[in-house]
Amino acid sequence: MLDKTEEIHPLFNGAPTTTEFKKLRKRIVRYTREAIEQYSMLDRGEGDGAARAKWLVCLSGGKDSYTLLAVLHELQWRGLLPVDLLACNLDQGQPGFPATVLPEFLERMGVPHRVEYRDTYSVVVDKVPQGRTYCALCSRLRRGNLYRIAREEGCSAVVLGHHRDDILETFFMNLFHGGRLATMPPKLVNEEGDLFVYRPLAHVAEADCEKFAKAMNYPIIPCDLCGSQDGLQRQQVKAILDGWEANSPGRRQVMFRALTNARPSHLLDPKLFDFAELERRDPDNSSNVPQLR
């Protein structure tokens, strides 16, 4: 790790020097680099004389997006991420949102950025019936604006701060409420087909993001729109996972590994596995008898 003040990115100025924090930082960087490599987030040819790619890094002001911003700049600083990074915050017009916090922070850190104001809050409150959660519509409106900004800035990818626990919670929400085995993929292409969507923190635990952002004393901005509503499906799923983790530490990581080890032949979807073509072996045909090794 780069620990000398003159050698680190400003995002890491004042980082704790404890062994515990150094291990945490190293773990987050390693897991992020693994996800970028495993899911091929770097376009073929990037860094080999081709036009340098540009990523729009979405910054909400929460612990996860601060962690994402810091670790991507760490990798870029070390020459391990040959892309340009543009931090972007979408101010959605929520009452009481501290509009100056992120611009001042990004200026102080020397991070290239764009702050965009779009009052999607009023649209969400107007369109969503009382008692229903805002998340779905809020997310669609936010994502549409981020795609537009990415195109205007010449970015090839929109980069989000979803972590391992977000991915697990989404899987169980789809399982319990959607009737399908699906979750947030670490890499996808948007519906229009012109932008990648990346989640480089896919392997990083939420607890690590929280510890990191708190240790770095980043100015956390809570989400008062959906965060103020009780009974969300995600909160219910999170409570279930918390209970499992408390009774069996490490359960979340085991379940996450299962998502990377799917076996279509042992599931029930005939679109993924051709059950009709399965054939029995003829026990009388000696050629079908496995040979001893």
- Residue 49: predicted pLDDT: 55
In a domain, 290, yes or no: no
In a domain, 37, yes or no: yes
- Domain containing 227 — which CATH number? 3.40.50.620
In a domain, 238, yes or no: yes
DSSP characters for 10-61? GGGTT---SHHHHHHHHHHHHHHHHHHHHTT-SPTTTTTTSPPPEEEEE--S
- Residue 286: predicted pLDDT: 60
- Residue 227: predicted pLDDT: 47
- Residue 291: predicted pLDDT: 60
78: its two tokens: 């070390």
In a domain, 293, yes or no: no
Low-confidence ranges of the chain (pLDDT < 50): 1-5, 46-47, 227-228, 230-231
3-class secondary structure, 221: coil
Range of the domain at 103: 5-278
- Residue 28: predicted pLDDT: 97
- Residue 123: predicted pLDDT: 83
- Look at the chain and report how many structural domains it folds into: 1
145: its two tokens: 């604006």
List pLDDT tens digits, range 140-193.
888 999 999 999 999 999 999 999 999 999 999 999 999 999 999 999 999 999
Contact 82, 46 (CB under 8 A): yes
- Residue 288: predicted pLDDT: 58
- Residue 242: predicted pLDDT: 95
Q: What are the strands of the beta sheet with 187-189, ordered from one edge? A: 113-117, 84-91, 54-58, 157-159, 196-198, 187-189
In a domain, 289, yes or no: no
* Strand duo 84-91 + 113-117: pairing: parallel
Beta bridge partners of 187: 198
- The whole-model pTM stands at 0.88
